[in-house]
Structure 1
């Protein structure tokens, strides 16, 4: 059987790091991405260099038709055994009272609606032994006061989605878990208007530094692997102590 994993937001950051790790385990990969064709092509080239099959599919995960197209394309590679729900955005950091409703809607649509639509497609196609990993955040329990409370609330919803879906899909032998990263060196911070946030926040992280994408990818890869065969409904915190 040819095992295939779909990774949304796979052209950069944690998604790209996870794709590269999974390729070294022999997984064939379909990455979804929004805009950066060059970055997506670079990741696919790296994956193919390991000997696996890989494709990049432009897909807005807020759109049910584009999500279906992503999973249909992945099916051309083989049997769907993994989904990494990783595509995500933040909005400008600031007080809750200044939150723009358009920013709120985008955060909800990408980080929650997108996860639901992708998990739904995966659940329809997966069979015994498959696994889903949702990317949550330590913000889900810390709340992110003064920064992005709405983002934290959506990530708390991600945790609830993970737990509920794990219980619903367990009888079919499909595992569902989440990884909750802390402050990681990715370009998501530039979207919030503070590209230097990881280094500025280092002093409040117990381990004294921000994390790297590959450190999160390692946790995701484990949860997708047979080594985690009895783990479902878990939220694995990878936050340096946060």
Structure 2
């Protein structure tokens, strides 16, 4: 099969927001690299859905905090064609804790996956897309969180801080590569009904706080994915360094 000039790489693409982005990007004609850390079955299910709908996708295992894995991930993308976009979606939360209860191991994991992983992937994307490196341009969309503004006290201050770093990275990198054909933006979701809450030990979180949300409901992965796809597209061609809140108006953290 001929190589594509519309390759999109989605980290953490096997579940939640990443899976929604992968499916929607493929429906728009992109070849999608569906990255996953450990759940091969879930990633292959996303790929199967895409292929069944007539699209093209490839599942690639990589732990984004591991530089060698990131290099292999982008090499796999290179095999499909020209990278046009990166969605820095892979991330982790942990069980609710106060800062005075957090271990160094927890903090290291939180920042290694959420921050260092995003930097490594952005680095490799820029090396491919920037005109400074002979690329044809492209777009990066980072996944932030409303927690970066809210602080997540008594729950995930470490996660909120990691996502605050993503806010800063988005603005700084956007300015760094603005004249090199690469746009860098972020989406900051609020309470979204995905399995990430269960991975943080709060499987009932959405149901528990729904009534406290301004719109009295959580958002969906598809709603966040639509915002991401707009930022990846030429429809947002004059948008860079922007951080788009997709949070249903949420202003306080219960």
Instruction: Report the TM range for the smaller structure's normalisation.
Output: over 0.9
Question: Given the alignment, which residue of 68, 73, 86 partners 2:71?
Answer: 68
Verify the 8 A CA contact 2:175 2:241 in the aligned structure 1.
yes
Question: Given the alignment, which residue of 105, 113, 117 partners 1:110?
Answer: 113
Verify the 8 A CA contact 1:14 1:217 in the aligned structure 2.
yes
Cα deviations across residues 188-231 of structure 1 (Å, max 9, x unaligned)?
Answer: 11121111111112122111111111110010000000100000
Structural mapping, 1:43-192, within 5 Å: 43-126=46-129, 127-192=135-200
Residue number in structure 2 paired with 1:223 = 231
Aligned mates of 1:77, 1:158 — CA distance in 2? 28
Cα deviations across residues 144-176 of structure 1 (Å, max 9, x unaligned)?
Answer: 111111110110100000000000111101000
Residues 184-193 or 170-179, more deviating: 184-193
What is the alpha-carbon root mean square deviation over aligned residues? Answer: 1.0
Aligned mates of 1:204, 1:79 — CA distance in 2? 45
Cα deviations across residues 56-79 of structure 1 (Å, max 9, x unaligned)?
Answer: 110010111110110110111111
Residue number in structure 1 paired with 2:18 = 15
Residue number in structure 1 paired with 2:132 = none
Residue number in structure 2 paired with 1:30 = 33
Number of equivalenced pairs: 242
Verify the 8 A CA contact 1:53 1:77 in the aligned structure 2.
no
Residue number in structure 2 paired with 1:233 = 241
Q: Name the TM-score, length of structure 1 as normaliser.
A: 0.98
Question: Given the alignment, which residue of 195, 202, 216 partners 1:194?
Answer: 202
For structure 2, list consecutive stretches of 5 or more residues without a partner in the other structure.
130-134
Verify the 8 A CA contact 1:33 1:59 in the aligned structure 2.
yes
Question: Given the alignment, which residue of 1, 5, 8 partners 1:2?
Answer: 5
Residues 139-148 or 45-54, more deviating: 45-54
Question: Given the alignment, which residue of 19, 37, 41 partners 2:44?
Answer: 41
Spell out structure 1 runs of 4+ moving beyond 3 A.
none
For structure 1, list consecutive stretches of 5 or more residues without a partner in the other structure.
none
Q: Name the TM-score, length of structure 2 as normaliser.
A: 0.93
